[in-house]
Chain A
Amino acid sequence: MILRSPILSACLVFSTACLIAPQVAAQGGPPPKTYFIEEVVDFTGNGCQATNVNTITALLDQYLESSGWSGLRLIEFECFPHDWREACSSSFGPSGLDSYYADDAKFTVYAGHGLQGGGSLFFGWPHLGVCNNILGTNSRLGSMAGKRAGYAMYLTSCTLKTTSLVAHANFQWTYQNIGFHNSPGIHSDSPAGWFNCTSGASNASCWLLWMQSDDQDEDTNTPIIVSYGATAAQANLVRDSTKMKDVYPGDFQYGGRPSAPSCGANQPLFFYNWVRIYNGTGDC
């Protein structure tokens, strides 16, 4: 059987929850909680050279599943930069696949590396000769084709460097972009710990709590969470109230923010804020 959607594939493979969820959605209930994770840990000798890292999303994957979410966790050479590339037009680069992958789930995660200067994701294996994905230039999560991503998490260095937000991450039409302003050390349990924490506290406060320290619990990381809304009040509400685990996030619609720009269109006016714990910028 040919499956074009990873969500549908995941439903067949994993859980009864997602067999139920689409029916609930069809009846006007809450939409399915869907996620998409890509993680690369091997960056040596595969054509996109960098440094090997530890696995940090495996437990998050388990926690999401056990909390009623459904989705995919792809690793290593199965992760393509094009999975994050806008699919609606080649003006974002050819062969975009985001409507089948990163922009086909409410919560989308990449774990790997980023480029100096911020606003990018770096993969371990080249696909069609490409190793990286530039947010904004290539990616338009939450809008255009796919437009289901509501929350994007970048477990990488530099991707949400504050000076890069306007030119890159802010083009993602998500409720929140979650990541780092510097080069973090991330414990294998920390993303799962963050998710677990959000049963009782906001995504933002949990992110700062769980990510300010490195693998050895030293305060070396600069975690940051950027929240968006159509108004300042709405952006504040997203920052202060969204709890990924206990409450279905955002305004509970099946997709990114309302009024998402269509293919190639400019973004409507929006508001954003951020909060971070600053422990340096490092080499970003």
Chain B
Amino acid sequence: MKPTYQWSLPVTLVLLACATDVENPSKRTSLGGAEQVAIATERPTYAIVSPDVADSHLVGRARRLAEIVLGKALVDAPFQESLARSVADSSRSWDGRVDAVAPGLHVRYERSTDTLMVTNPEFESKIPEVENDPPASESAARLVFDAVIVQLEQAGFISASDYDLKNVHVGWTDYIVSTRSDEEPPEPRILNFRFSAPRMIDGLPFRDGRLRVAIHRSGRVASIKLRRAAVQLVQAGRSVPSKVSLPECEARFRREHPNGSVRLAQVAYVLPSPDADGVAEPKCVVSFSEVTPQPEGPPVVARQQQVRYSLADASAEPVVLPIHDLVPGDPRPSTEP
């Protein structure tokens, strides 16, 4: 039997099942795809400063975000106690991460990137045993997403104008039910839609800051993740002249990576390391996978990479991420059969 919920937010007005989209939409919104603004002659750099979050403040933020996920005021004392305990313990955890679990919720906070995420596992990842719901609808889920954005702004988490909400990336969680090995696999079914958008700086995407909201097929919020939503942007006192255009750096990429299959190319603000604060500056960023032909058989598809070209100097060495490194392993056993 389909559960009933007490809805207290505008999202309750959206009935996903009534919409007309089919399961498994065949087309998806462009990844990133932020419209590139007119090329400025130079752009400032920004110091990204994560908030020095006091434990009590973090608990308050997490609670407010949890209330948006749940769609109701949170008066669950055990949840707050668990969260407060986890926050207090986080400095001793393996990576400084806060993980708090309470009935129906999971809260996670990473201090180094000011990433706050609240998940309702029931809607984020639980696969239903009975398949009698109507097909999920992306357009209806989008309406819920829009309502969540309003709530995030009202609660002070974001300023909606800081995000590129016209070019939202849409992914989804899907699954197939358990199937006999001698039968044709069934069509996948969608569990939730996942909308994500980058934060913007001066009209350019900030690749290290974004929000993601997952909406369950029922219309309930499955999770919200905010990465560097609360960071402060302080002009770092240096500007980067824009001497290289996006088409020019795309042409350079094609010369240097003839087998590169581009997922996304754009001028964007990036941090030197995605894992720490620093100075964000505009670069020409190309995300890609190398597809290397082999003498026989299908080509090799490499894991994704990103190359960053300077906007100031067309001949500057690009930065390739992630960095190729090697951590030694164990010796191979000396004898084989």
List A residues at the B interface (Cβ < 8 Å): 2-6, 9-10, 13, 37, 39, 41-43, 49-55, 58, 61, 72-76, 78, 87, 97, 100, 113-117, 122, 131-132, 156-158, 162, 165-166, 170, 183-189, 196, 200-202, 204-205, 208-209, 212, 214-221, 229, 232-233, 235-236, 239-240, 267, 269-280, 282-284
Contact with A along B316-337 (1 / 0, CB 8 A): 0000011111111111111111
Docked-complex contact B291 and A116, CB < 8 angstroms? yes
- Residue B304 lies at the interface, judged by CB distance under 8 Å to chain A: yes
Q: Which residues of B contact A229 (CB under 8 A)?
A: 178
Q: Closest chain B residue to A114 by CB distance?
A: B301
A277 touches B173 (CB 8 A): yes
In the bound complex, CA of A221 to CA of B300 (Å)? 17
For the complex, give the distance between the alpha carbons of A271 and B186 in Å: 12
A271 to B301, CA, bound (A): 29
Contact-residue bracket for chain B: 35 or more
8 contacts between A and B (CB under 8 A): A55-B327, A117-B298, A165-B185, A183-B303, A219-B194, A236-B178, A271-B180, A272-B181
Residues of B186-234 whose CB lies within 8 A of A: 188, 191, 194, 196, 207-208, 210, 212, 227
Q: Are B178 and A185 in contact (CB under 8 A)?
A: no
Question: A269, B181: Cβ atoms under 8 Å?
Answer: yes
Q: Which residue of A lies closest to B28 (CB)?
A: A280
List of A residues within 8 angstroms of B180 by Cβ: 269-271
Contact with A along B263-290 (1 / 0, CB 8 A): 1000000100010000000000001011
Given A54-B323, A183-B301, A185-B305: A274 touches B175 (CB 8 Å cut-off)? yes
How many residue pairs link A and B with beta carbons under 8 A? The number is: 241
- Complex interface: chain A residues within 8 A of B300 (CB): 43, 49-50, 113-116, 122
Q: Among the interface residues B207, B291, B299, B330, which one has the most CB atoms of the partner chain A within 10 A? A: B330
Q: Is B39 an interface residue (CB 8 A)?
A: no
Residues A269 and B182 in contact in the complex (CB < 8 Å), given A49-B292, A284-B301? yes
Q: Is B172 an interface residue (CB 8 A)?
A: yes
Q: Is the CB of B329 within 8 A of A158?
A: no
Q: How far is the CA of A117 from the CA of B227 in the complex (A)?
A: 34
Q: Given contacts A54-B323, A215-B306, A277-B194, are A270 and B301 in contact (CB under 8 A)? A: no
Q: Decide: B129 and A236 in contact? CB cutoff 8 A.
A: yes
Beta-carbon contact of A216 and B330 below 8 Å: no
Chain A: minimal CB distance from B299 (Å): 5
Q: For A43, what are the chain B residues with a Cβ–Cβ distance below 8 Å?
A: 300, 302
B contact residues around A9 at 8 Å (CB): 330, 333
The answer to whether B337 and A100 have CB atoms under 8 Å apart is yes
Instruction: Return B317 CB to nearest CB of chain A, in Å.
Output: 16
CB distance A97 to B327 under 8 Å? no
Name, among B99, B178, B291, B333, the residue most crowded by chain A CB atoms within 10 Å (CB to CB): B178
Task: Give the residues in chain B near A157, CB-CB below 8 Å.
Answer: 289, 301-303
B22 at the binding interface (Cβ < 8 Å): no
Give Cα A53 to B325, complex, Å.
7
What is the predominant secondary structure among interface residues of chain A facing chain B?
loop
Inter-subunit contact B326/A3 (CB<8 Å): no
- Flag if A217 contacts B113 (CB, 8 Å): yes
Q: Are A217 and B169 in contact (CB under 8 A)?
A: no
Name B residues whose Cβ lies closer than 8 Å to a Cβ of A. Answer: 28, 31-32, 94-95, 99, 101, 106, 113, 115, 119, 121, 124-127, 129, 169, 171-182, 185, 188, 191, 194, 196, 207-208, 210, 212, 227, 261, 263, 270, 274, 287, 289-292, 294, 297-306, 321-337
Q: How far is the CA of A235 from the CA of B321 in the complex (A)?
A: 38
Known: A216-B207, A216-B274. A55 touches B325 (CB 8 A): yes
Once bound together, how far apart are the Cα atoms of A282 and B263, in whole Å?
Answer: 8
Q: Roughly how many angstroms separate A232 CA and B333 CA in the complex, as a whole number?
A: 40
Q: Which residue of B lies closest to A221 (CB)?
A: B304
The 8 Å CB contact of B330, one of A72, A87, A204, A274, is: A72
Set of chain A residues within 8 Å of B328, measured between Cβ atoms: 75
Within the complex, which residue of A50, A187, A220 is in contact with B263, where a contact is CB–CB below 8 Å?
A: A220
Complex interface: chain B residues within 8 A of A6 (CB) = 333
B31 engages A280 (CB within 8 Å):
yes
Chain A positions within 8 Å of B196 at CB level = 218-219
A204 cross-chain contacts in B, Cβ below 8 A: 125
CA distance A282 to B301 in the complex (A): 9
Q: What residue in chain A is nearest B174 (Cβ atoms)?
A: A278
State A218–B228 Cα separation when bound (angstroms): 13
Q: How far is the CA of A27 from the CA of B91 in the complex (A)?
A: 41
A260 to chain B, nearest CB (A): 14
Cross-chain contact B185 with A51 (CB below 8 angstroms): no
Q: Which of A4, A115, A166, A188 contacts B337 (CB 8 A)?
A: A4
